[in-house]
Chain A
């Protein structure tokens, strides 16, 4: 008899205690470890406990469910699974089958609820009933038109929805009929029933691609992953209009949570991996670089498949790093000698190999890459290491791998931790950018002097006026840059656009290239003309290009330009923050003098000489076009 689903009362007490103490991170961790997808009972317990909790409005995510079936059975699972990811959800569930009225009526409860996101969970036979239930009653030529008609209805609802709400909209796709009317010859005589629904799914994807903040949930794949016979419960479909089996509601909730995580900016950015028994089988220190299990036979082939899955994550923008207890020389040797490795050394943007504890290794990786611990996922096969990391750095998401390597991929990808809502050109290159910086760091260590290092990098620095095309990037940098940032003033695009029209503002982007590649726009200088001086208001550089004398080039060119206009001085200001240590001595290093009355202000006289360009930089100045 199974008693696994019987709740663990100690875990429940820890959960309730953390909740009472207001420690939501710990409560979420407890919830996550006690909640497997199939446990409806535990989900109810968690959801009920949260109901009694006081919550501040701004921290709550408002989710509305519109459905053609009794989706209220999934409510507790959604609330519990979202909470286990640190997201507090307030649910609005429209009465069964009211989705059309709720969307069309501008005064409906849906809009009064003020949702952040809306799920439209309508089964395919509502949009295209004849294809599902009357397929042999329609002429073969009618099929495509019926598909188009169904998608047309959705498109209309989406358009009306957008007039009344700017919430994200998640639309269920369609699950093809499980027992096609023509049985094994479905599709043999033309477009089959299944093919028509597949076409409908493609058209829904197309509709969502071209509508802002509308996403298609791949419902057919969700069902397929569990299996049709497990996913549905026909007893309750007909008895309670609840077609989805109770044990599958957790899976449905987890699929929604992937979107909620992305919509709340919690998509993970960096994957930190253990090595032994994670990327390969066995212990490197005992088996040697070619003795570890990695290759065409079990278990090596399972580890190989895991590496392929990780490489695909990197290609879509996830940063990879290593935290391993090993001899650094052994790991170096393996990267050089083991030709089965899919993941190469250059795929990793930070490598912490040694004997220090993994919690501090993770903190160092976060600092090196300049990303928050809450954006890191740590993967290890050793439960003790996992427990240590969870305890010391609870912000890090820990995946403790199952015993069998063939189950690693599922453990890594199941929750969609790295799923964002879009993919930008920068995402596709990010892994490379960080890796390049790592290569440059290595070059610095190899170079005998700093100047050799700078020369060796063969850098080109391009200074260009901000244009409407580069303005979004400029605004984004003011919002994201914390370390090399003199005043840490944040700006929106609209604010910068106003400055573009004002001739007294000089807005300059800084683009850096080196022999390892193009870093793109990685700096911004905004200064304002006064009667006899120019005042630097904003000066920032991305951490990728700090320590390369780029700032000297930018200051030199600014001073020269001011000098040519007959101005006498350059004024700068440093507003100290907890993070901008790298700029504290910026003006002092470049010959500025502190203002006798205001110690945050610095002055540089440019009557006579102006600062010189660093000789190792190729500096390009672009004119406004």
Chain B
């Protein structure tokens, strides 16, 4: 399963939609269920799914499916780099 598919499943569960209903166009402005509460719920559910923690600034920009995926990808890349750095130091 690709990263995008996993995020799609998570977002679908939070918004109570089917995964195929979640597209690049799905956002706070196009989807009624995506309110402020849902935004935080999406952030929490993605954190749980990928075992990471966003900052408030990151959560604030997660207002669409595309930005969720982008923010998450950046975060995971950062973590990968940090992990490598740690292993080099060790």
Contacts and interface: CB of A to CB of B under 8 A. Distances in A.
Interface of A: 1-2, 5-7, 38-41, 44-45, 48, 51, 72-73, 235-236, 238-240, 242, 246-247
11 contacts: A1-B50, A1-B51, A7-B13, A40-B48, A41-B10, A41-B13, A44-B14, A51-B16, A236-B44, A240-B40, A246-B47
Contacts of A238: 56
Nearest to A9: B9
B38 to A, nearest CB: 10
Nearest to B36: A240
A41 B49 contact: yes
A112 B9 CA distance: 38
Contacts of B16: 44, 48, 51
Contact of A242 (B40, B47, B50): B40
B37 interface: yes
A48 B17 CA distance: 10
Interface of B: 1, 6, 9-10, 13-14, 16, 36-37, 40-41, 44-45, 47-51, 55-56, 59
B37 A72 contact: yes
Contacts of B40: 73, 236, 239-240, 242
B48 A247 contact: yes
A337 to B, nearest CB: 51
**Residue among A2, A6, A41, A236 with the highest chain B CB neighbour number at 10 A:** A41
Contacts of A242: 40
Contact of B45 (A1, A41, A48, A236): A41
Given A44-B13, A239-B56, A5 B37 contact: no
B13 A38 contact: no
A2 B52 CA distance: 11
Contacts of B14: 41, 44
A16 to B, nearest CB: 13
Nearest to B12: A45
B55 A7 contact: no
Given A1-B50, A239-B59, A7 B9 contact: yes
Nearest to B51: A2
Given A7-B13, A239-B59, A44 B6 contact: no
Contacts of B45: 40-41, 44, 246
Contacts of B59: 235, 239
B37 to A, nearest CB: 6
Contacts of A40: 41, 44-45, 48
Contacts of B37: 72-73
Nearest to A45: B13
A312 B81 CA distance: 52
Contacts of A1: 50-51
A44 B36 CA distance: 16
Nearest to A51: B16
A45 B10 CA distance: 10
B13 A6 contact: no
B35 to A, nearest CB: 11
Contacts of A39: 48
B73 to A, nearest CB: 14
Nearest to B45: A41
Given A236-B44, A239-B56, 9 more contacts: A40-B41, A41-B14, A41-B49, A44-B13, A45-B13, A48-B16, A73-B41, A246-B44, A246-B47
A184 B54 CA distance: 32
A6 B41 contact: no
Contacts of B1: 6
Contacts of A235: 55-56, 59
A236 B56 CA distance: 8
A72 B49 CA distance: 21
A73 B56 CA distance: 17
